[in-house]
Amino acid sequence: MPDQDLSSYLAYLLASAHRRMRLGLSQSIGDDEFNEDHWRILQVLSDAQGHFMGELSERVLINGPSLTKNIDKLVSRGVVLRVADDVDSRRVKVFISDLGLEVVARLTERVDAHHHSIEAALGQRKTAQLKKLLESLVDVSGPA
């Protein structure tokens, strides 16, 4: 029988922190139509350059099938649109709409407020250290 407590594992602590962060963001966003995944998608698309689904999937950390479902919802709400690529019509680029820019601005304010509350609780120094440690962990953890 293992004698090591589950909470002593880094993987468990990261999963726990991730879960609490998502729950906190969900409460902060407080929107029935849009969630954290939608915010990440809209945040990336807000550069107004248009992005292919594969690249978008990597950037927003959502697998292809889930991203497609999220994009379908966002298209139906009028905040993003799909456009066939000029070079290869089999490929689709996703763009943010003007309404999407309004939505992402509103959601970003709420996400920023949530992040500021965490920074206030941890302090600026610890928050900066945590970000650096997490960036290092991402770099050394293996393939994405």
Q: Residue 88: what pLDDT?
A: 87
122 assigned to some structural domain: yes
Asked whether residue 12 is domain-assigned, the answer is yes
* Domain annotation covers residue 144: no
Q: What is the pLDDT of residue 2?
A: 59
14 in any annotated domain: yes
CA distance 143 to 101: 32
Domain span holding position 106: 7-136
What is d(CA 86, CA 65) in angstroms, rounded to the nearest whole number? 24
pLDDT by residue for the chain (144 residues), tens only, comes to 556 789 889 999 999 999 999 999 999 998 889 999 999 999 999 999 999 999 999 999 999 999 999 999 999 999 999 999 888 888 999 999 999 999 999 999 999 999 999 999 999 999 999 999 999 998 898 766
Residue ranges of E strands in 53-104:
80-84, 92-96
pLDDT value for 144: 61
Assigned domain for 64 exists: yes
- Give whole-number Cα distances, 114 to 24, 28, 108, 117, 120, in Å: 7, 6, 10, 5, 10
CATH code for the domain of 37? 1.10.10.10
pTM of the model: 0.87
